[in-house]
Amino acid sequence: MPGINKTAVPDYALHVLEVLERGGFEAWIVGGWVRDALLGNAAHDVDITSNAHWQESEQLLLNAGVTVHRTGIEHGTLTAVVAGHPIEITTYRVEGTYSDSRHPDSVEFVSSVTEDLARRDLTINAMAYHPVRGLLDPYGGAEDLAQGIIRAVGDPYKRFSEDALRVLRAVRFACRLGFTVEKNTHDALVACAPELAHVARERVGAELDGIIATGRLALAMRSEREVLLAAIPDLAPMVGFEQRSPYHCYDVWDHTVHVVEATEELSGGVASRRLRWAALLHDVGKPKTFTVDDRGQGHFFGHPSTGAEMSEAILRSLALPLSLIRPCVDLVRFHDRPVKATRHSVLRMLSDLDGRSPGEAVPLAFETLVLKRADALSKAPEYRGYAVEVDKIERMLRKVLSENAPYRVQDLAISGRDVLQQFGGRPGPWVGATLDACLREVVHGRLENTREALLTWLAYSGSPHR
């Protein structure tokens, strides 16, 4: 693996190093910048560690005209802002016990950068760099980067017992980089994963969202299943749950792994977060809705609706944003809904999606079809042909959109004012309900979307909502 070109170090980071070293202290760039620079992807965010105590660093930086914020002085951390770039500066330290499996009970400032690096989680994150002194790599992080290996620093059980969130962090790095977790590290991940139950759910959610964002969730589902199940216990019943159906050749978990993988492939690796989450959760309701008929065949009646409810509860518990939750839940709810390659069927899908997520119907419709196609390709071979039918549905979707076909109330050739003129009376919810009834007739193909046709229909049918 090639080394780091010292010209890659940003000027604002060099300035901070120079200020600290002119003051008589030692300083190094550490963490993610070093890792990414070795991979040829040097980032803008730079962290620095130094043997200067935070008070000494603060005074030197202020004297040099640098803005400084006390962002974590209990742990020896300041944030300097140079040319608009924040740089974290932390005193060399080691950490005490972690009684809450998340935060150190105490920190002790030390004089050796090697001691500081020893407290870090993974070898690939435990390297330091200086543009003059070069790379400091006491734990073999550069070699692990070259070999594509995720390895804990020192005793992996100790590392992950200290901070249970590191379990998910290790999986996130494995997925982000496409690396393999070294066996002892993997065993420690499995052993320590149950401690995630003691970590704040929003922190778990943030790490899971990071894993999802890598586009390599299937890798984690295959190699680090126990970790994911500890993070989202509601997924556990899917493992080994045989579907007892001619449509399926995998249990619910393995089917889901294939759907997750197919979703990435069908999306060209740029699937949205909500689609990636929906691929993971689309069949979470199956174990709860399983029944067996007289022939011994399994069924999952109502599993999309149950899955949608479960998905919402899971995502809310992880403190993920509503802007993600609502459309993700819609994708789960609609993934198994029958849709035909006809104008009326596609318009009904768009209309129903818009009713649940106003303004999101078009992108959700396309994502629903991606999920349907991935679902079909992950069934028994003789039933994968439905993916071709989904292609036909997508062509019809593109056709109705190109024609500006109506699927929303605002697409109708009449408005609430027309309804009031037709029937008189005061504005109220009945006006919207009447327009909804008109839209339903148009979407189902029973009524043309023209002003004349709609007003004629209203004249004969009246408004039962008034």
pLDDT digits (tens, 9 = 90+) for 379-402: 999 999 999 999 999 999 999 999
Q: What is the mean pLDDT of residues 4-12?
A: 88
Question: Quick check: helix, strand or coil at residue 130?
Answer: strand
Answer yes or no: is 466 within a domain.
Answer: no
Q: Which of 319, 262, 251 is nearest to 286 (CA)?
A: 251
Q: What is the mean pLDDT of residues 23-47?
A: 91
- Helices 429-443/416-423 angle, 10° precision: 110
CA dist., res. 437 & res. 441, Å (int) = 6
Contact by Cβ (8 Å): 80, 86: yes
What is the pLDDT at residue 41? 85
Please say if the pLDDT value at position 257 is more than 80: yes
What's the sign of the alpha-carbon dihedral 120, 125, 127, 131? Answer: negative
Q: What's the whole-model pTM score? A: 0.90
CA dist., res. 261 & res. 263, Å (int) = 5
Domain at 252, CATH number = 1.10.3210
Domain at 457, CATH number = 1.10.246.80
Q: Which range (151-160, 347-356, 423-432) has the least confidence?
A: 423-432
Answer yes or no: is 378 within a domain.
Answer: yes
Question: Do residue 179 and residue 255 come from a single domain?
Answer: no
Domains in the chain, number? 4
Please say if the pLDDT value at position 86 is more than 80: yes
Question: Do residue 264 and residue 369 come from a single domain?
Answer: yes
Answer yes or no: is 436 within a domain.
Answer: yes
| Range(s) of the domain holding residue 350 | 239-402
Domain at 35, CATH number = 3.30.460.10
CA dist., res. 226 & res. 168, Å (int) = 11
Question: Do residue 24 and residue 164 come from a single domain?
Answer: no
CA dist., res. 233 & res. 407, Å (int) = 39
CA dist., res. 371 & res. 276, Å (int) = 9
Question: Do residue 44 and residue 107 come from a single domain?
Answer: yes
Q: How confident is the model at residue 279 (pLDDT cuts 50, 70, 90)?
A: very high
From 147, 169, 196, the end of a domain falls on: 147
Contact by Cβ (8 Å): 124, 169: no
Contact by Cβ (8 Å): 450, 414: no
Answer yes or no: is 1 within a domain.
Answer: no
Residues above pLDDT 90, as percent of the chain: 82
Q: Which of 323, 347, 336 is nearest to 400 (CA)?
A: 347
DSSP-derived secondary structure for 392-434: HHHHHHHHHHHTT---SGGGSSS-HHHHHHHH-S--SHHHHHH
